[in-house]
Amino acid sequence: MPQSAIIELSGVGLISGQPITVQLAQAPQGQGIQFVWASTGAILPASTEFIVDTQRGVTLMHPETKQVLSIVEHFLAAVSMSGFYDVTVTLIGEKVKELPLLDGSALPWFEAMISQWGTPTIKVKQPIYTLDKPVFLKGSTLKTALIAYPAEQFSITYTLDYPHQGFRGDWATWHGRQDAVVSVSQLLSAQTFGLVDELPVLQAKGMALGVTLENTLGLCADGVGYTRALKFPKEPFYHKMLDLIGDFHLCGLPADSLQMAIVAINAGHTAHVAFANQLKQQLILN
């Protein structure tokens, strides 16, 4: 395929459950990621300044038209790990308010770009950021915290506290592209998850209408089981890592630019974004 190939992906929206189609096209170097509504021509750059909500995914809003776009984090995680940092995403349809969930992971986005565009041609050397001291963010509750500290290579350690046996007292670490156990593709394949008991409550509020057994891993009410077998050990921890990678990329911090260790404790999108913005003030450019 030529590098100019247009990629088209379709799926349902996590929130709305409605069918959504998007087209991806490589953009000039330096543009970054831009979302374009085909119906209005409105252009929304993927930037932290346009974030308006981080409760159950990241939502951006166009400053003038007030059009919103939710669930951008999986796509941005794929962007961060693919190296294709300059992409125009055209949203096909009249009232598109979210990106398609696809299979609930970042892998379909990643595979589509790699298979159709090959390897990105990077003409400008990417910056490498380090730290000379730890950076710490305490969340709004005692259970949430994020820490980054100097290290020879990028890594993420995640621990979660859910009412489920698969999370109690457990944690996982990913050592970036050099990880000997979990590859980039495997990390990106980790599926979004949630409590089965919570789904009816959310759907009664008009949320999570696109959740299916195929695109979401359910944590069963018995506190032990899952709605399917895990793809690999500790899969939910790795989904939280890909969320963090996507959120950091949105804040201008691609994973491949970070030479440091990050530890996340019960963090979500709100904490990810707050920490990324705090971290930017302490980075050392190499």
Give 91's strand partners.
Answer: 22, 37
Report the pLDDT value the prediction gives residue 123, as an integer from 0 to 100. Answer: 59
Centroid of chain to Cα 193: 13
Report the pLDDT value the prediction gives residue 286, as an integer from 0 to 100. Answer: 85
Strand 87-92 relative to strand 33-37: parallel, antiparallel, unpaired? parallel
The answer on pLDDT for 168 being more than 90 is no
User: Among residues 194, 164, 160, which one has the least CA distance to residue 14?
Assistant: 194
Report the pLDDT value the prediction gives residue 140, as an integer from 0 to 100. Answer: 64
Please state, for a pLDDT cut of 70, what percent of the chain lies above it.
96
Least confident segment among 84-93, 122-131, 172-181: 122-131
Q: Which CATH architecture does the domain made up of 7-117 adopt?
A: 2-Layer Sandwich (3.30)
CATH number of the structural domain 129-191+231-285: 3.30.1700.10
Distance separating alpha carbons of residues 42 and 5, to the nearest angstrom:
22
User: Among residues 247, 249, 228, which one has the least CA distance to residue 239?
Assistant: 247
Instruction: Evaluate whether 7-117 and 129-191+231-285 have a shared fold.
Output: no
Report the pLDDT value the prediction gives residue 93, as an integer from 0 to 100. Answer: 87
CB-count exposure of residue 150 (10 Å: 0-12, 13-18, 19+): middle
pTM, to two decimals: 0.96
From residue 78, alpha-carbon distances to 99, 100, 114, 127, 191 in Å are 13, 14, 10, 19, 13
Please state, for a pLDDT cut of 90, what percent of the chain lies above it.
90
Q: In this structure, which amino acid lies at residue 197?
A: D
Report the pLDDT value the prediction gives residue 142, as an integer from 0 to 100. Answer: 65
User: Among residues 112, 103, 252, 110, which one has the least CA distance to residue 184?
Assistant: 110
Q: Sorting pLDDT into bands at 50, 70 and 90, what band is 124?
A: low
The answer on pLDDT for 110 being more than 50 is yes
Of 94 and 26, the one with more pLDDT: 26
The answer to whether residues 276 and 247 touch, using CB atoms and an 8 Å cutoff, is yes
Distance separating alpha carbons of residues 176 and 183, to the nearest angstrom:
8
Report the pLDDT value the prediction gives residue 2, as an integer from 0 to 100. Answer: 44
pLDDT in tens, 42-80: 999 999 999 999 999 999 999 999 999 999 999 999 999
The answer on pLDDT for 19 being more than 70 is yes
pLDDT in tens, 172-191: 999 999 999 999 999 999 99
Report the pLDDT value the prediction gives residue 149, as an integer from 0 to 100. Answer: 97
pLDDT averaged over every residue in the chain:
94
Q: At what angle do helices 235-250 and 73-82 cross, to 10 degrees?
A: 80
Domain extent listing, the chain: 7-117, 129-191+231-285
pLDDT in tens, 205-229: 999 999 999 999 999 999 999 999 9
User: Among residues 172, 194, 196, which one has the least CA distance to residue 182?
Assistant: 172
Instruction: Give the mean pLDDT of 22-46.
Output: 97
pLDDT in tens, 141-154: 668 999 999 999 99
